[in-house]
């Protein structure tokens, strides 16, 4: 006999606020899986629990194989905004919406980008070590500097890029924006200056902050050639996705003093290998891909993810959070 109960698979990182929304529904069964589950174990889980009608994903990859195993997938949701691990065409082929958490984590990532700018400008890590090692007398050789009056180039003016721009404007910085998909009028209305040529703008920037999605167009966007166009006194911040910056090229530029420093929340390989060469550079600060994973962001993302999935199962998807709009009637 066919059951009216819909089955949702949710990763262990889904917040309690999101779980509570799902648990309150008597027509839904919720099954948890580990965030770092292997592809084979995930496939086995889908087949064992099939039919599966929805899934809330952390870092897990999802595509044709998983759709086949689930049998009746109706919605795939990311607990976040990035979706480079999702085969969007495979979902669209089966008219399955891919949904993201909208603006839920954008304030957190914007704050992390600004934090990294400030930490590098104020030499946070270096001065901390200086005091601890008793090198107080050498402090004037490591003078910090102000963000005030500096120029930042924001690459990508979506949910996160726009919020980062607001924070930089509050620091009284000049904000340049490169995003070929956003009208110049919208950028100017936000108090920023639109630039149409990325390479021409790079020599003007004291900081470059990346907020674009990882796509075939942006993979390797900052290679050796592009990094060479930045000022030797400039800093690169990447809180977007690993692979947008070519790490070997970044290392070479930093080692040759062709770039002043970098702040990295993301890496080409995650987790990065132990002893990664960038780790040894004093002008690089790093984080384990947690810019958008604050306590508050987890609550917001979990709640939005649950609402996203439920909206599809209830026949009224939250359209603004659907990536593959072509599946909507």
**Would you call the peptide bond into 165 cis, given omega within 30 degrees of 0 as the criterion?**
no
Q: From residue 20, how far is each of 6, 16, 24, 184 by CA, in Å?
A: 16, 6, 6, 42
Catalytic hit among 74, 78, 241, 300:
241
Dist CA 128 CA 126 (whole Å): 5
Is 126 an annotated catalytic residue? Answer: no
Is 53 an annotated catalytic residue? Answer: no
Is 270 an annotated catalytic residue? Answer: yes
Catalytic hit among 123, 289, 300, 307:
289
DSSP letters, 73-92, are --EEEESSS--TTB-HHHHH
Tokens encoding 315 = 């026949």
DSSP classification of residue 155: E
Give φ, ψ of 109 to 5 degrees: -65, -40
Alpha helices in 171-294 (DSSP H): 184-189, 198-201, 224-227, 247-255
Cβ neighbours around 39 below 10 Å, total: 13
Sign for the pseudo-dihedral over CA of 86, 91, 96, 102: positive
Catalytic hit among 48, 270, 296, 319:
270
Asked if residues 82 and 102 have their Cβ atoms less than 8 Å apart, the reply is: no
Question: Of 148, 195, 150, which is closest to residue 176 (Cα–Cα)?
Answer: 195
Q: CA 59, 66, 321 angle in degrees (round to 5)?
A: 55
Cβ neighbours around 152 below 10 Å, total: 29
The catalytic residues are: 241, 270, 289
């Amino acid at each position: 006999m066919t059951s009216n109960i819909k089955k949702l698979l949710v990763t262990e990182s889904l917040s309690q606020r999101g779980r509570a929304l799902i648990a309150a529904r008597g027509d839904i069964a919720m099954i948890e899986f580990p965030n770092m589950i292997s592809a084979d174990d995930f496939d086995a889980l889908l087949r064992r629990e099939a039919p599966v009608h929805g899934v809330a994903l952390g870092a897990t990859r999802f595509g044709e194989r998983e759709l086949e195993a689930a049998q009746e997938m109706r919605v795939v949701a990311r607990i976040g905004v990035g979706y480079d691990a999702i085969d969007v065409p495979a979902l669209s082929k089966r008219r399955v919406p891919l949904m993201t958490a909208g603006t839920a984590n954008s304030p957190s990532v914007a704050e992390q980008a600004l934090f990294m700018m400030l930490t590098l400008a104020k030499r946070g890590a270096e001065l901390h070590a200086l005091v601890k090692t008793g090198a107080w007398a050498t402090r004037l050789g490591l003078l910090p500097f102000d963000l005030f009056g500096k120029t930042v180039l924001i690459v990508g003016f979506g949910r996160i890029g726009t919020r980062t721009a607001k924070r930089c404007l509050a620091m009284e910085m000049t904000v340049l924006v490169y995003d070929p998909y956003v009208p110049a009028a919208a950028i100017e209305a936000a108090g920023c200056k639109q630039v149409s040529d990325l390479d021409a703008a790079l020599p003007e920037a004291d900081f470059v902050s990346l907020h674009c999605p990882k796509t075939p167009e942006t993979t390797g966007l900052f290679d050796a050639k592009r990094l060479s166009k930045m000022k030797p006194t400039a800093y690169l911040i990447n809180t977007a996705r690993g692979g947008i910056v070519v790490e070997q090229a970044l290392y070479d530029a930093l080692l040759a003093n062709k770039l002043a420093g970098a702040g990295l929340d993301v890496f080409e390989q995650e987790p990065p290998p132990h002893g990664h060469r960038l780790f040894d550079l004093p002008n690089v600060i790093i984080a384990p891909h947690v810019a958008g994973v604050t306590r508050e962001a987890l609550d917001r993302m979990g709640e939005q993810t649950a609402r996203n999935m439920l909206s599809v199962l209830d026949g009224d998807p939250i359209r603004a959070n659907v990536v593959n709009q072509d599946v909507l009637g």
